[in-house]
Structure 1
Amino acid sequence: MTLAQPTRPLPAKRRLTRKQRRLTLIAAAGAVLFLAAGLVLFAMRDTIVFFYGPTEIAEKGVQPGTRMRLGGLVEAGSVQRNGGQRISFSVTDGKTSIKVGYDGLLPDLFREGQGVVTEGVFEGAGRFKADSVLAKHDETYMPREVADALKKQGHWQAGGSGSPAAAPAKP
């Protein structure tokens, strides 16, 4: 004869109320959204910048084939027209220069010593193939990013006339 163990009733499964289920679903959706936004921002960390200067490109060691924007000044004496709409010129920040090749019509205000932002593909070895060129719009305007980069290098003076690269910035 065996002694029977007293049996306890099994506890009933705890069920979530409708309000608790809704809050759990909202919290899970919020966590997924937060994770997705974090992954997107992490992936875009280098492309959020409006443009890179020639020195930044050289220091970062950008891989050939990378699509980006290059900004700086059109180097004096570097503009060469290669027949038709082909043109090559150098973009500089006063420290480093990158040779740019472009096929197409240039903006009317494009000239040596002026601020420019080009968009295209970095080909490596100091060469950039542009598919669009943006120039400043009047005699006193320069994109803030270009002006800031040139001020850091000491090659731009606000409100100055002539070539901005000729006058060092005042401390």
Structure 2
Amino acid sequence: MKSLKKKRRIQILVAAAVALVLAVGLIGYGFRDGINLYRAPSQMTENPPRPGEVFRLGGLVEEGTLVRGAGETVTFRVTDGGASVPVSFTGVPPDLFGEGQGMIGTGQMEGDTFVASEILAKHDETYMPREVIDSLKAQGVYEDPSS
């Protein structure tokens, strides 16, 4: 009788371990394309992304670089004060998107240009994404608008 209880406990523990490993594997598989790491332009020059890697790039739209091309293509440069990266976006940019404004784009590098599939811009006059503020502070460029 004791041997049967011991065998049953071991079977339950093995089944629970298999279920746990399966759950972790499914979660990892589900997140493989859903996690986009944030990078500032200075971080990209120090540690370039892998080919085909999807990530988020953020900073300020550099003054004098915003060019609205034929159709829906927009090109510009994103800077954090230390480095600058050319960006291309095909689509309709957000209403408050413009030069000197904070933005975060999701996409990947094609050659030397970041090709954005999505662009997020500030949603009011004073908002700037936390990641952009942190990277601008690291470069010594950020000026707090409330001061």
- Give the TM-score range, shorter chain: 0.7 to 0.9
Give the partner amino acid of 1:78: T
Shift of 1:35: 8.2
Show structure 1 runs of 5+ residues with no match: 1-13, 162-171
What residue is the counterpart of 1:11 in the other structure?
Answer: none
What residue is the counterpart of 1:16 in the other structure?
Answer: 4
CA distance in 1, matches of 2:3, 2:22: 29
Shift of 1:63: 2.3
Do the aligned partners of residues 25 and 155 (structure 1) sit closer, same or farther apart at CA in structure 2, a change above 3 Å counting? farther
Shift of 1:133: 0.8
2:88 to 89, 101, 124: 101
Show structure 2 runs of 5+ residues with no match: none
Give the partner amino acid of 1:16: L
The answer as to whether partners of 1:63 and 1:124 remain within 8 angstroms in 2 is: no
Instruction: Write the deviation string for residues 95-138 of structure 1: whole angstroms up to 9, x where unpaired.
Output: 1111011111111100111110111121132x111111110011
Give the partner amino acid of 2:94: P
Higher helix share: 2
Shift of 1:36: 6.1
- How many residues are matched? 141
Shift of 1:27: 3.0
- C-alpha RMSD over aligned residues: 2.7
Instruction: Write the deviation string for residues 48-73 of structure 1: whole angstroms up to 9, x where unpaired.
Output: 63x21112222222123221111111
Give the partner amino acid of 2:4: L
- 1:53 equivalent to 2:31? Answer no
1:151 to 131, 137, 144: 137
- 1:91 equivalent to 2:78? Answer yes
TM-score in terms of structure 2 length: 0.80
TM-score in terms of structure 1 length: 0.70
CA distance in 2, matches of 1:29, 1:145: 43
Give the partner amino acid of 1:73: L
1:1-171 alignment, distance < 5 Å: 15-17=3-5, 20-32=6-18, 33=20, 37=24, 40=28, 47=35, 49=37, 51-125=38-112, 127-160=113-146
Moved more, 95-104 or 59-68: 59-68
* Greater RCO (Cα-Cα under 8 Å, separation 6 or more): 2
The answer as to whether partners of 1:69 and 1:119 remain within 8 angstroms in 2 is: yes
The structure that has the greater radius of gyration is 1
Helix, strand or coil at the partner of 2:137: helix
Calculate percent identity across the aligned residue pairs: 45
Helix, strand or coil at the partner of 2:54: strand
CA distance in 1, matches of 2:143, 2:95: 23
